[in-house]
């Protein structure tokens, strides 16, 4: 059993901390935000993530997981320290690593014996060197440490599963000793023969950006294919399905939609693009993926505008789904934000509903009319825009939907409704890359 401290209790820190304690280690999650730690100490989880509450409960009850604001003490008592603080987008698209730097200084000051310092936050390539430099500058004489980059690949909404059953664990270690310690932290996965990819620090940092940027690129690609499908009368679902049956392509991340959002892809594509500019090594594909994504969000607003006759004024639109993806309450960079803003700017009104994210969206749009069910949202509206593919929306009765709406007009940006059924029920509709039907 190792003594581990995880600094930062956001998605990555909290899920990793709880997951590592589930592997049998003694984990302290530390954060300077008192309100968050207070909630966690009371047994409440500050984010919505399926399965996280059980994972936390189980390990707190077993005495393996605790929470503290005493970051210095937590560093002193640990063998391995994970840095999992935020790296928001800064100027020029580059990630802002000031929180990582602050943590590095704290670790240096509290370095009482040999420790492994491990970064989980998504950080620009070269950050490992900077962390080591800051630790060396601030540590007491005789301090000893090794550095590891251990990027995380979990997705919001399935973070617990992704952490406990990853495809691989990337360990970019500055020494064999540090690699062995990290492998021991992930022992249950290693025993189950999950690949442990041993690299140097810069390679591990690069793997994270390259993987996220590639997934974003894949989404932008299928979104452009979908748009072309619309122009030539092809169905993108069948195109994506047949493409995905080629093992070299894979069906994953080939779902067209309203453009990717969240706290990772938008930020990480900008960060790798900024890095490529800085290094003078163009990444034209990533620049294009970013442009396509912005255009896709705009394209959705144009589609809705066309569906309602070219003008939002005096129209009330029901927006179903506010989170950037299902099973999360996170609305960061969600396509629904641009959609709502465009409707409001055009003089329209919005009734909005998300099964989990109403409260988060209230911070962006405090004055919208928020509903508590799809029925309440769609009642007496001129059109409905489906922005997130929650199961609740897949199961909507089209008969009932038509009955309660002022006019049966639907924009399905996630392609979750059957176009045959929409036609049968007499809806006017549009989607992404499939047959549309409306009076233009
Ligand atoms: C993403 C990566 O998938 C994780 O591997 C990574 O660890 C994480 O970023 C991170 O860097 O922390 P996440 O942003 O939580 O995870 O969610 P995704 O499931 O990747 O979805 C991102 C966006 O892409 C969503 O808006 C989603 O709707 C969209 N998307 C995804 C599509 O439009 N089509 C797809 O086929 C897949």
CATH code for position 370: 3.40.50.720
Q: Computed from CA positions of residues 323, 329, 333, 339, in that sequence, does the dihedral angle turn out positive or negative?
A: positive
Ligand 1 probe mutation, 157, 219, 333, most atoms within 8 A of CB = 219
Q: For the residues 29-33, what does the mean pLDDT come to?
A: 96
Residues 19 and 141 placed together within one structural domain of the fold = yes
Shortest-distance Cα residue to atom 2 of ligand 1:
155
Residue 24 falls inside a structural domain: yes
pTM: 0.94
pLDDT at 163: 96
pLDDT at 92: 77
pLDDT tens digit string along 125-147?
899 999 999 999 999 988 899 99
Residues 242 and 192 placed together within one structural domain of the fold = no
Residues 242 and 378 placed together within one structural domain of the fold = no
pLDDT tens digit string along 50-107?
999 999 999 999 999 999 999 999 999 999 999 999 988 887 777 899 999 999 999 9
Pocket of ligand 1 (CB under 6 A): 122, 152-156, 212, 215, 219, 253-255, 257, 260-262, 264-265, 324-325
Range of the domain at 332: 296-430
Residues 149 and 193 placed together within one structural domain of the fold = yes
pLDDT tens digit string along 409-437?
999 999 999 999 999 999 999 999 998 98
Given a cut of 80, is residue 439 above it in pLDDT?
A: no
Per the annotation, the verdict on 264 as an active-site residue is yes
Rounded-to-integer distance, Cα 339 and Cα 334, Å = 9
Residues 253 and 182 placed together within one structural domain of the fold = no
Give the CATH number of the domain where residue 283 resides: 1.10.1040.10
Rounded-to-integer distance, Cα 384 and Cα 407, Å = 9
pLDDT at 440: 63
Q: Which long-range contacts (CB under 8 A, 24 or more apart) does 287-291 make?
A: 288/220, 289/213, 289/216, 289/217, 289/219, 289/220, 289/221, 290/220, 290/266
Q: For the residues 260-270, what does the mean pLDDT come to?
A: 95
Domain end marker among 199, 233, 259: 199
pLDDT tens digit string along 198-225?
999 999 999 999 999 999 999 999 999 9
Residues 130 and 187 placed together within one structural domain of the fold = yes
Atom of ligand 1 minimally distant from the CA of 223? 33
Residues 185 and 220 placed together within one structural domain of the fold = no
Shortest-distance Cα residue to atom 24 of ligand 1:
260
Domain end marker among 290, 319, 341: 290
Average pLDDT of every residue of the chain: 95
Rounded-to-integer distance, Cα 30 and Cα 8, Å = 6
Cα of 117 to ligand 1 centre, how many Å?
27
Q: For the residues 337-342, what does the mean pLDDT come to?
A: 98
Residues 301 and 325 placed together within one structural domain of the fold = yes
Residues 194 and 236 placed together within one structural domain of the fold = no
Domain end marker among 180, 199, 218: 199
Q: For the residues 180-191, what does the mean pLDDT come to?
A: 94
Q: How many domains in the chain?
A: 3
Shortest-distance Cα residue to atom 19 of ligand 1:
155
Residue 439 falls inside a structural domain: no
Rounded-to-integer distance, Cα 132 and Cα 343, Å = 49
Rounded-to-integer distance, Cα 135 and Cα 31, Å = 19
Q: Among residues of the chain, what percentage have pLDDT more than 90?
A: 93
Shortest-distance Cα residue to atom 17 of ligand 1:
155
Residues 128 and 22 placed together within one structural domain of the fold = yes
387 vs 92, which has greater pLDDT?
Answer: 387
Atom of ligand 1 minimally distant from the CA of 389? 28
Residues 306 and 228 placed together within one structural domain of the fold = no
Cα of 252 to ligand 1 centre, how many Å?
11
Atom of ligand 1 minimally distant from the CA of 325? 28
Among residues 29, 118, 132, 264, the one annotated as catalytic is 264
Residues 105 and 243 placed together within one structural domain of the fold = no
């Amino acid at each position: 059993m190792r003594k581990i401290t995880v600094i930062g209790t956001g998605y990555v820190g909290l899920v990793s901390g709880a997951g590592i304690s589930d592997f049998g280690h003694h984990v302290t999650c530390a954060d300077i935000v008192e309100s968050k730690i207070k909630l966690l100490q009371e047994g409440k989880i500050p984010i919505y993530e399926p399965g996280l509450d059980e994972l936390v409960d189980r390990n707190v009850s077993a005495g393996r997981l605790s929470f503290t604001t005493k970051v210095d003490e937590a560093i002193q008592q640990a063998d391995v320290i994970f840095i999992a603080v935020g790296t928001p987008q800064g100027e020029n698209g580059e990630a802002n690593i000031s929180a990582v730097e602050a943590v590095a200084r704290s670790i240096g000051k509290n370095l009482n014996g040999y420790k492994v310092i491990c970064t989980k936050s998504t950080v620009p390539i070269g950050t490992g060197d900077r962390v080591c430099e800051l630790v060396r500058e601030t540590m007491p004489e005789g301090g000893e440490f090794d550095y590891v980059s251990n990027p995380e690949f979990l997705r919001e909404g399935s973070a617990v599963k992704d952490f406990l059953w990853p495809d691989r664990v990337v360990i970019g270690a500055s020494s064999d000793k540090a690699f062995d310690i990290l492998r021991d932290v992930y022992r249950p996965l290693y025993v189950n023969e999950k690949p442990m990819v041993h690299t140097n620090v810069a390679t591990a940092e690069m793997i994270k950006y390259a993987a996220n940027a590639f997934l974003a690129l894949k989404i932008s690609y299928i979104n452009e294919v979908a748009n072309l499908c619309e122009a030539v009368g092809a169905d993108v679902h069948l195109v994506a399905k047949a493409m995905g049956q080629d093992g070299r392509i894979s069906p994953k991340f080939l779902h067209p939609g309203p453009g990717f959002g969240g706290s990772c892809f938008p930020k990480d594509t900008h960060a790798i693009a900024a890095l490529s500019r800085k290094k003078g090594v163009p990444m034209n594909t990533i620049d294009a993926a970013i442009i396509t994504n912005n255009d896709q969000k705009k394209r959705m607003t144009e589609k809705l505008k066309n569906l309602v006759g070219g003008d939002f004024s005096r129209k009330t639109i029901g927006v179903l789904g506010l989170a950037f993806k299902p099973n999360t309450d996170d609305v960061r960079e969600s396509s629904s934000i641009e959609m709502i803003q465009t409707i409001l700017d055009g003089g329209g009104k919005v009734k909005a509903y998300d099964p989990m994210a109403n409260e988060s969206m209230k911070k962006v749009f405090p004055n919208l009319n928020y509903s508590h069910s799809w029925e309440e949202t769609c009642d007496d509206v001129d059109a409905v825009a489906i922005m997130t593919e929650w199961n609740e929306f897949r199961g909507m009765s089209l008969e009932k939907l038509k009955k309660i709406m002022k006019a049966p007009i639907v924009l399905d940006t996630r392609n979750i409704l059957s176009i045959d059924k929409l036609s049968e029920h007499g809806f006017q509709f549009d989607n992404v890359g499939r047959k549309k039907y409306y009076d233009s």
